[in-house]
Amino acid sequence: MKVDDIRAFLPSKDYENSKKFYQAMGFKMDYVSDDLSLFSNGECSFFLQNFYNEELATNLMFQLIVLDINVAFDLVSNLQDFDIKFAPITQQAWGKVFYLWGPSKELWHITELTS
């Protein structure tokens, strides 16, 4: 088997709000159906679904690797009108990271790897 891509399906507590959030984060949205949207940035993509299960959403974790963590942190810290929370950037042995809890309480590890 040769794999070409892998995509996650993220739940959304408020589908319209989550769509706006991910667009504000810099992802391009493509319509798939009334209950499913595809979000992409560069070669990376995921599906956002109009489905919510609290236990699933609050246990999801994703790593988003960025080229400049300061740019990503500035973008997140300037977002308004979204029920999100985030932690400061920390230095780790493998790079830098900050944590972002999205509008459905999904956890993003936003990471800049040390080269």
Q: Residue 113: CB partners within 8 Å, gap ≥ 6?
A: 65, 94, 95
**Interval 30-82: pLDDT, tens:** 999 999 999 999 999 999 999 999 999 999 999 999 999 999 999 999 999 99
Rounded mean pLDDT of the chain? 97
User: Quick one: pLDDT at residue 115?
Assistant: 80
**pLDDT value at 83 more than 90:** yes
- Per-residue CA distances from 71 to 35, 38, 48, 77, 95 (Å): 31, 24, 24, 10, 15
Across 13-35, average pLDDT: 98
pLDDT at 42: 94
User: What is the predicted pLDDT for the residue at 17?
Assistant: 97
Q: For residue 69, which of 45, 57, 46, 86 has the smallest C-alpha distance? A: 86
Regarding pTM above 0.85, the answer is yes
* pLDDT for residue 29: 98
